[in-house]
Amino acid sequence: MTNGIEKLALRPIGRRAALIGLAGVAGTLSMPWIARAQAETIRIGFPTPLTGPFAAEANDQVRSAQLAVKLANDKGGIAGRKVELLVRDDKLNAGEAATRTLELIEKDKVHAVVGALSSAVQLAVNEVTRARNMLYISISQSDTINETKDFSPYTFHEALNPTMTTAVVAKHSFKKGSKVAYLVADYAYGHEMLRGFRRAAKEIGAQTVSEILHPFGAADYSTFIPTILASGADILCICNFGRDQANSIKQAVDFGVKDQMKIVVPVLLHNQRLAVDPEVFEGVTGGANYYWGLEETVPSAKAFNDAFRAMYKGTIPTDYGAYGYTGVASLLMAIEKAGGTEPQKVIAALEALKYDIAKGEQSYRKCDHQSMQSVLVLESKAKSAMKSDADLFKIVAAEPASESVLRTCSELGFKS
């Protein structure tokens, strides 16, 4: 076996054969380059946790992102080029996400990255894209990504951030003199939401009576509830995400918490509401970036829902799903305006962009690249008030885009 290979390797190669071979290699290598120069496909990398506890939300993100790509290709592409979405499973793991992102950049030669569904994983993706001057549209809640420490001129934050979410939710649920107890998941998301609520509560004049940190992914909340019930609070603010939200609310309700206090959450999750009976979430109030019911008042929401229904057999887009759509669609709009994928031109186009593609007017703030957008406040409906299985929430308020709910540029550490 080894002998055969050695013989082959030792066989002298004639000069003519070598030349022909080289020419052939050069020819095949250069051909795709000629084809590419004409209309290279715009490739967008999309890392998201397709498996794991956030899988439901991640799959919604992918479906919405694919819709944005399909709509662009249906009208003949962007700047005359086809668009392709490269979805990768980041397994909700920062290391995995960094590796997949690196692969997308180095091997798949993507022109931009959109995605991630956890503040920590998102920061890992941001590390990679920042080091390689790669465009990145982040679509998960985070305050850190706005701060100068983690800022990249190539990163744009399409999702809401905890500061703006909690400011708006608190405005519509806390009152002066309210007594608030907090149940908070002990990791970045929970801490950032708690910080936001504290800041808003101080301004409103609400009082904190109890703060309980619970471990991420806890299965049983029964042992936290006696303290909450004994705190004398009139609002229980539960700051956690995914299954933790459904589990903790369900168990709190089992203990009769709702008879004594109102339950408020930073983000009222579409899929988690679907994971329990309507009675459990009834009356629970929380924020959202998107709810399909917005279509009654916002024309772009109607257009987005209709396109989604047409592509996915009448189903509706969800809150976190909509991020996938607005993230990819706003990027494509900017690429179109820039006339190509040259990063500096796309950055300039994104900074100048005014877009209304699903939820009303949006734009990226220049200093931290945070998307200024409306924040919804939703209340979960009673079963008797639901007109259909999808009729989950009442829109209590839709706060228009405003800098007043954001930290100022100088507060974030940017020099004006």
Partner 1 sequence: MTVQLIAMQLFSGLALGAVLIMVALGLSIIFGMLGIVNFAHGALFMVGAYAGLYVAGLTGSFWWALLIAPVMIGLFGMLIERFLIRPLYGRSPDDPLLLTFGLGYVLVEAVRIFFGTDGIPFSTPAALRGVVNLGIGFFPLYRLFVIGVVVAVLLLLWIGLEKTKFGLIVRAGSADPLIMRVLGVDISRLWLIVFGIGVGITALGGVLAAPMRNVSPEMGTLVLAEAFVVTVIGGMGSLPGAVIAGLIVGVSVSMTSLFAPEMATIVMFALMALILLVRPNGLYGRAAPGL
| Residue from 154, 174, 189, 224 in contact with partner 1 (CB under 8 A) | 224
First-to-last alpha carbon distance for the chain, in angstroms, is 70
Interacting span for partner 1 (CB under 8 A) from 114-122, 250-258, 299-307, 365-373: 250-258
- Name the residue among 340, 357, 356 with its Cα closest to residue 348: 340
Q: How far is the CB of 55 from partner 1 (least distance, A)?
A: 4
Site for partner 1 in 181-200 (CB under 8 A): 186
Q: Considering beta carbons, is residue 59 or 138 the nearer one to partner 1?
A: 59
Strands (E), 261-360: 262-267, 285-288, 354-355
Q: Considering beta carbons, is residue 271 or 371 the nearer one to partner 1?
A: 271
Alpha helical stretches, state H, 339-378: 343-352
Cα dist from 101 to 120, 153, 296, whole Å: 14, 18, 38
Does residue 53 touch partner 1 according to CB under 8 A?
Answer: yes
Interacting span for partner 1 (CB under 8 A) from 24-32, 151-159, 240-248, 377-385: 240-248
Q: How far is the CB of 225 from partner 1 (least distance, A)?
A: 7
DSSP bridge pairs for 150: none
| Residue from 21, 32, 205, 215 in contact with partner 1 (CB under 8 A) | 215
- Name the residue among 362, 363, 359 with its Cα closest to residue 376: 359
Q: Give the integer Cα–Cα distance in Å for 270 and 294.
A: 14
DSSP 177: T
Does residue 372 touch partner 1 according to CB under 8 A?
Answer: no
Q: Considering beta carbons, is residue 166 or 245 the nearer one to partner 1?
A: 245
Does residue 218 touch partner 1 according to CB under 8 A?
Answer: yes
Q: Give the integer Cα–Cα distance in Å for 365 and 371.
A: 6
Q: Give the integer Cα–Cα distance in Å for 365 and 25.
A: 49
Enumerate residues 6+ apart whose C-beta is below 8 A from 398.
294, 297, 360, 374, 375, 376, 377
Q: How far is the CB of 308 from partner 1 (least distance, A)?
A: 17
Site for partner 1 in 261-280 (CB under 8 A): 271-272, 274-277, 280
Does residue 381 touch partner 1 according to CB under 8 A?
Answer: no
- Name the residue among 143, 158, 112, 164 with its Cα closest to residue 322: 158
User: Judged by CB under 8 A, how many residues of this single chain contact partner 1?
Assistant: 37
| Residue from 203, 254, 391, 411 in contact with partner 1 (CB under 8 A) | 254
Does residue 227 touch partner 1 according to CB under 8 A?
Answer: yes
Does residue 56 touch partner 1 according to CB under 8 A?
Answer: yes
Structure tokens at 249: 């609310």
Q: How far is the CB of 131 from partner 1 (least distance, A)?
A: 33
Does residue 258 touch partner 1 according to CB under 8 A?
Answer: no
Binding footprint of partner 1 on the chain (CB under 8 A): 52-53, 55-56, 59, 186, 212-215, 217-220, 222-227, 229-230, 243, 246-247, 250-251, 254-256, 271-272, 274-277, 280
